[in-house]
Amino acid sequence: MIKPIELVIFDCDGVLVDSERIAARVQVALGAELGWPITEDEVIDRFIGRSNASVAEQVAARLGREAAVTWTERFTELHREAVDAELSPVEGLPGALDAITLPTCVASSGSHDKMRHTLGRTGLYERFAGRIYSATEVSQGKPAPDLFLYAARQMGVDPAACVVVEDSRPGVQAARAAGMRAFGYAGGLTPAERLEGPDTTVFHDMGELPGLLEAA
């Protein structure tokens, strides 16, 4: 028997704030600068939805540890500059949040500093303050289930009563591994087919989310 929903867990980048396009653009630029001619599609496949540590490991395997440190530092700097200049909430997101009556929290591969910055710049931080969890707090990031299980535990909710709103393949994989239903948002960078799978509802417009949650 499917349990009623008691908690909606939101990813941050690409779900709450429209930052994945910025991140992908910066990663492609860094690849050209540091000697890894990576495409946007490769960035989506390799980096989107994963923690900084996971990205750094991949860069180190390709370019060496020193380059990975430089890549991480440069990404933090360039991403912050672009966020300050152009970041906005995901289209339709503020209205969707207003319509959702269930308890919510955030669980992201990003650090707390990054989320304070991005959520703060878009006026969303206060909506989730005190209910924000980062992959830096668990041993394994997405696609492992650790982060979502940690968020559920902190919120005092059975994983089977949680749903996750994600926009990346590692994210929906982590939700499934945690025994949670997933809502895959395909209105951003990640194509719908990369989000599809068991216990996953794919949608393209954030305005649809309140109705989908109510129907579930």
Rounded to two decimals, the pTM is 0.90
Determine which helix (DSSP H) or strand (DSSP E) holds 201, and give its type and residue range.
strand 200-203
Is the per-residue pLDDT at 52 higher than 90?
A: no
Domains and CATH numbers, the chain: 7-17+88-215 (3.40.50.1000), 20-86 (1.10.150)
The owner of tokens 């794919």 is 202
Radius of gyration of the chain (CA): 16
Q: State how far the Cα of 152 lies from the Cα of 174, in Å rounded to an integer.
A: 13
Handedness of CA 51, 56, 57, 59 (dihedral sign): positive
Handedness of CA 83, 51, 93, 184 (dihedral sign): positive
Q: pLDDT tens digit string along 132-160?
A: 999 999 999 999 999 999 999 999 999 99
Mean pLDDT on 175-188? 97
Sheet holding 181-185, edge to edge: 132-134, 104-108, 7-10, 162-166, 181-185, 200-203
Q: pLDDT tens digit string along 58-105?
A: 999 999 999 999 999 999 999 999 999 999 999 999 999 999 999 999
Point out the residues that are catalytic. Answer: 11
> How many C-beta atoms surround the C-beta of residue 166 within 10 A?
28
